[in-house]
Amino acid sequence: MTYQEAVNWMFNQFPVYQNQGKSAYKEDLSNTIQLANYLKNPESKFKSIHVGGTNGKGSTSHMIASILQEAGYKVGLYTSPHLKSFTERIKINGEEIPQTNVLEFVNSHKVFFEEHQLSFFEMTVGMAFDYFSKEQVDIAVIEVGLGGRLDSTNIITPEMSVITNIGLDHVQILGNTLEKIAGEKAGIIKSNVPVVIGEKQLEIEHVFIKKADEFESKITFASDVVREVYETDLLGSYQRHNVKTAICAVQNLKGFKVTSNVIEKGLLNVKTNTKLRGRWEILNNSPKVICDTAHNKEGLTYVMEQLKKEKYDNLHIVLGVVSDKNLEEILPLFPKEATYYFSKPNLPRGLSAEILKKESKKFELLGEQYESVLCAYDEAVKVSSSGDLVFVGGSTFTVAEIL
């Protein structure tokens, strides 16, 4: 196989949540544990920080990794999903895993994967842990894929667990109340491992306190203790919450020397150090083009608030979402005065542009539908004058197609 054939094989062989949604979600960790044992438990051979939450877990993971890189450590970073290339998911000091390593891993273990019917995500987690172990990272920042308790990443015993916040996302899998979702996310809390909670949410803080008490884990709410917030090169106003969470995490991390100067530099160089993209990213200035991967009520609330503060003559919004989104919850957040360019992200789970246009009309969001995200984007830019603003969002996958 070539590298691309190997990645295609992983995507097509077994369920991929990105493509199929709920049917790809596994109800236990037995497959991942079996794979880890087969690979001789690479997850036990490096130190790690486990980062979960509804919003901001990706940005927070990148911030923590950037700070630790600035401190001189060799830092692994595992995140999902990817925007452009599969190798973005697995990095060391901002450098993506070489394609040759991906190909070698799939070729070496393909028979085992087939015999045990491993999912795409399980294989990818195994690949990341194997790579970090062989490359002898000082520490790896591991972002939870979905939920926490049953996520494939949850076989690690980290130095620290981090949970950014809780919102109503993936309710068909994690539960339809904040308390149920918090219970799933709290599943990454381990015995005697300190836990940092990013935002104190009064209605669910008891879920985390109870779990931490049960496991004798020291619990810290970042929003309570972090007073000095540094600037970051990630431009979204919502990043201030993630900055507090990242600062609190590295300040409470035992065995790693991280000064305030290093924290400051790490936060100012997140994009340079980790190559993070798609978070309130300005792609063009005339017309101004901004994209953001926010895709649920909590994330989009912050992004739409920031959009209101922008100055422009006319607003154009390229919108594409996946089919399991609660449109009645997210569409009212979008501004009615914008011209909309409805499109379907290019994956089986993408919602058709026709349905999106029809549903949006109920909320007075008007515009035309296009056969692809790129067609919608090209048209929005073409008709915009230099004083206009084009915003692209609704889904990680919509943003990915225009980067």
Flag whether pLDDT at 21 surpasses 80: no
Mean pLDDT, rounded, for 72-78: 98
Q: What does the pLDDT read at residue 28?
A: 77
Flag whether pLDDT at 300 surpasses 70: yes
Range scoring the smallest mean pLDDT among 313-322, 323-332, 356-365: 323-332
Mean pLDDT, rounded, for 199-215: 97
Which residue would you say has higher pLDDT here, 23 or 376?
376
pLDDT single digits (tens) 211-230: 999 999 999 999 999 998 89
Question: Confidence class of residue 336 from pLDDT cuts 50, 70 and 90?
Answer: very high
- 89 closest CA partner among 124, 60, 61, 133: 124
Q: What does the pLDDT read at residue 177?
A: 94
Exposed/middle/buried for 386, CB within 10 Å: 0-12, 13-18, 19+?
exposed
Residue owning tokens 């809780």 = 166
Flag whether pLDDT at 24 surpasses 50: no
Kindly calculate the radius of gyration of the chain based on its CA atoms and give it in whole angstroms: 21
Exposed/middle/buried for 108, CB within 10 Å: 0-12, 13-18, 19+?
exposed
Q: What does the buried/exposed string (b/e) look like for 209-234 if buried means 16 or more CB atoms within 10 Å of the residue's CB?
A: eebbeebebebbbbbeebeeebebeb
* Nearest-10 Cα torsion for 210, 216, 221, 224: 100
3-state SS, residue 9: helix
Q: What does the pLDDT read at residue 173?
A: 80
Mean pLDDT of the chain: 94
Phi and psi at 242, nearest 5°, equal -65, -35
Mean pLDDT, rounded, for 40-66: 97
DSSP per-residue string spanning 172-207: HHH-SSHHHHHHHHGGG--TT--EEESS--TTTHHH
Q: What does the pLDDT read at residue 14?
A: 62
Instruction: Please check whether residue 91 is in contact with residue 274, taking contact to mean a CB–CB distance below 8 angstroms.
Output: yes
Q: Say what the pTM is.
A: 0.94
Q: What does the pLDDT read at residue 25?
A: 54
Instruction: Please check whether residue 65 is in contact with residue 274, taking contact to mean a CB–CB distance below 8 angstroms.
Output: yes
Flag whether pLDDT at 86 surpasses 80: yes
CB atoms within 10 A of CB 321: 27
Question: Confidence class of residue 157 from pLDDT cuts 50, 70 and 90?
Answer: very high
Which residue would you say has higher pLDDT here, 75 or 12?
75
Mean pLDDT, rounded, for 266-270: 98
Q: What does the pLDDT read at residue 171?
A: 76
Mean pLDDT, rounded, for 343-358: 96
Read off the tokens for 120.
Answer: 């795409």
Q: Which residues are bridge partners to 342 per DSSP?
A: 319, 369
Flag whether pLDDT at 190 surpasses 80: yes
Range scoring the smallest mean pLDDT among 19-33, 304-318, 363-377: 19-33
Mean pLDDT, rounded, for 220-242: 94
Residue % of the chain over a pLDDT of 90: 91
Flag whether pLDDT at 271 surpasses 80: yes
Q: What does the pLDDT read at residue 26?
A: 57
Phi and psi at 339, nearest 5°, equal -95, 130
Residue % of the chain over a pLDDT of 70: 97
Q: What does the pLDDT read at residue 398?
A: 97
- 353 closest CA partner among 344, 345, 362, 361: 344
pLDDT single digits (tens) 101-134: 999 999 999 999 999 989 899 999 999 999 999 9
Q: What does the pLDDT read at residue 128?
A: 98
